[in-house]
Chain A
Amino acid sequence: MKEFNIVLTGVGGQGILLAAEILGTAALKEGLNVRVSEIHGMAQRGGAVVSNVRIGENVLASTFLDGKADVLLGFEPLETLRSVNLASEKTTVIMSDERITPTELTAKKMEYPSLKEIINKICSFTKNIIIVEAAKLAKEAGNILTENVVLIGALAATKKMPVKDESIIEALKELVPTKHLDTNIKAFKLGYEYVQKYKPKL
């Protein structure tokens, strides 16, 4: 495999960097070359966060060209939309429906755009969209903070990742604190099953 690109996008505090590290570690476990870009400091304080995970023998840079995303893993609808320039008609978008209102909107007493509006805009780039009720599933798993792992489970179920499910679970075991492991594995499974049973509601 020459190059496989995932972009993870959302808001500071959603566990995006850990999710990216889990995916990168899973790839490394299979002996693949990998790059994971992170955002630290200022950009994390409730601001937009974008991380790229790139897997493959040709991969050197931490970021990739417009339109070259294989998967866009969106933790928040508006932020998913903000990274849509990396997508093409070949890209699969896996997006959480959990909205986090930017303070700018609240201050101007403006409504958050409707999910339908956001999905329509994404559709101008790609029609392969899977909406995941990540927050609901994370709560079901026992901790709202496991939304990131729900999305990883959803990604695994699409079978787009060039690594085995077992490698992702192994990476999860390595990177998640032991006392939270059961909750996280449950979150992974819930995300996974959700996509297996998924019926598009577009």
Chain B
Amino acid sequence: MPDSRLLLQDAPNKRALLLGNEAIARGILEAGISVVTTYPGTPASEIADSISEIAAEAGVYMEYSINEMVAVEVAAATANCGVRSLSAMKHVGLNVAADALVTLAYMGVKGGCVIVTADDPECYSSQNEQDNRFYALLANLPCLEPSNAQEAKDMTVSAVEISEKLELPVLLRTMTRVSHTRGPVIYGKLTKPNLKGEFVRDIKRMNLVPANSRPMHTVLLKKAEKAKELSETLQYNTIIRKSKSGKLGVISASAAFNYAIEAIDALDLDASVLKLGMTHPLPEKLIGAFLKKHKKIVVVEELEPYLEMQVKAIAKDYAPNVKIYGKMSTPYFPRDGELSTRTVVVGLAKITRRKLPINFEEIDKKYAEVLKDLPRRPPILCAGCPHRASFYVIKKATDGKAVYPNDIGCYALGFAPPLSIGDGFLCMGSSVSMAQGINKVTGKDTIGIIGDSTFFHAAIPGLINAVYNNHKITLAVLDNQTTAMTGHQPHPGTGVTGMGVPTEKVLIEKVAEGCGVKYVRVVNPFKVKEATAVLKEALQHSGPSVVVFRSPCALMVVRDRRRKGAKIMVCKITEECTNCMACIKLLGCPALVLVDGKAGINEALCIGCGLCASVCPYQAIKCEEIG
């Protein structure tokens, strides 16, 4: 959807084609959710991005918070003033917010509070495949799981209502195939947002010193009991198909439910299907009765055997003889990676001893033949990306001999040849802290590499740690002036809020100085000589040092030029070229290509950054204006 304003249409029963995340944004408007906070992360980003574009007009407050914990804290506080709020993040983002989340369950809320966690089976854009339903189990929170865009919208509204009813925050768990799938959504009525809240002092509930926490834990457990009752009758937990023979029952939720239904149909199975939309707490009686009616039960779910474990526990009390098949013991479905209709068809066929409807083996054999020698096409740094220049400088200044702990963002791609800079990362902000540990025990030059948004998100305590403990590390902040990987959201260094209002720019170099770093410099990565000299100097510094490599994201530069109708720059290879291939060997820029065995430049991709010109030993590359 190019225009989020369509989400604002007060047109009940209108049918729109929405991305799961846009559907949640519509749900926010229908639910009268008035405060939306986030830290951007794929696959959750478009929820808050859609709201950001229309927040002022809708009368909603939204912010790109500095990190997920802050986002949840802001949302929790507004909800405790009676204002409906929502905080959205990717699965690993909830780890950052977990400290706040688990205690927020004790504190509870007054206005509805929804926490969206977008899981990422298959790690399309993440460092792990964790199953965040366990956070619902851990924190004792209700959890809703939509299977398509319509449910994503409807459940956002329901989540707020359940949250207010139980006075508990509610988790809304989506995943890539729900968040990033478009489907029809029928609009409901809009609810006017209400930003006016009232804070009522309630020390026993909200000041969670141990003496207050203990009774609040008991309160939480009582609320959890109520949530369980609600789960029994909730419209989202329902038997949607009844088998004639009563032999086979399938239990499923979320995107896995779609695969399950299509697989049942592909195999032409006679199966009952219990669809769970609320997966914590589970409707024990409903599941128990379902188990009793069938001989075999198949649990189809993404990631961990979260449902299967609990269904087995319920079976012990209700139907000890029923056979339960899933991911545990003899696994019929993979526990790693993403499910697909195919994996579910194969698993179900094994369980029911049916013949496969498609000869997958034959397709695989033919496909393997096709894939042989087929070059891969992994994600890469874009043509003209300033990070490529920064990596080149870092490599040049250290001769590739330092250790380079890196971080989460586009620059994680620097590990790929030929740049090959980047030695590993754990989570947001890990570059700066890991650098300290590595330097401590190896004594090697260590350069932590982090982006601008990630710096604000999680590097500051690590940087203070480096200063306080005098770790001799260098932190290279690759500042491209935006949160590029997730779709160019603003952050404290960009000078604009999520509401689109200009604001105080927080300068990374000032923050570093404020943390007590004595050597702080800002360089332009495309000025290779100067930047290299500065980085070398930084490595000589006796304590921690920070070098900010500042140059805007190439995608923003191009977009900006196109918008303004400005001249487009491209690099061209002149007759001086000796075909030494230095540009291709050193940089790995996608615009540098082979044309009949010679180095050439793809004009459609090149943005004229000139980095290749600066590495060419024969001055055979020139930048020119075209168009």
Contact = CB atoms under 8 A, between A and B. Distances in A.
Interface of A: 11-12, 20-21, 24-25, 28, 31, 33-48, 58, 60-68, 78-79, 81-82, 84-85, 101-107, 109-111, 121, 124-125, 144, 175, 177
B181 A37 contact: yes
Interface of B: 1-2, 15-17, 19, 42-43, 45-46, 124-125, 147-148, 177, 180-184, 255, 257-259, 261-262, 265-266, 340-342, 345, 358, 360, 363-364, 366-367, 369-371, 374-382, 410, 413, 417-418, 485-487, 581, 584-585, 588-590, 592-594, 597, 602, 604
A85 B365 CA distance: 10
20 contacts: A37-B177, A38-B19, A40-B45, A40-B125, A41-B124, A42-B42, A42-B125, A42-B485, A43-B124, A60-B262, A61-B255, A61-B258, A62-B255, A63-B341, A85-B364, A85-B366, A101-B593, A103-B588, A110-B375, A121-B370
Contact of B379 (A12, A62, A81): A12
Contacts of A125: 366, 370
Contacts of A60: 147-148, 257-258, 261-262
B17 A28 contact: yes
Contact of B184 (A20, A21, A34, A47): A34
Contacts of B485: 41-42, 45
Given A28-B17, A60-B148, A107 B417 contact: yes
Contacts of B345: 65
Contacts of B377: 11, 46-48, 78-79, 82, 102, 104
B592 A106 contact: yes
A34 B589 CA distance: 38
A62 B178 CA distance: 8
Contact of B593 (A11, A38, A106): A106
A102 B375 contact: yes
A31 B45 CA distance: 29
B3 to A, nearest CB: 9
Contact of A39 (B1, B124, B182, B604): B124
Contacts of B364: 85
B375 A62 contact: no
Nearest to B368: A85
A46 B380 contact: yes
B346 to A, nearest CB: 11
Contacts of A64: 262, 341
A180 to B, nearest CB: 11
Contact of A41 (B43, B589, B593, B594): B43
B588 A107 contact: yes
B299 to A, nearest CB: 18
Contacts of A106: 584, 592-594
Given A45-B380, A58-B262, 15 more contacts: A21-B1, A24-B17, A28-B184, A37-B180, A37-B181, A42-B125, A42-B379, A46-B381, A60-B148, A61-B177, A67-B358, A68-B358, A85-B364, A106-B593, A124-B369
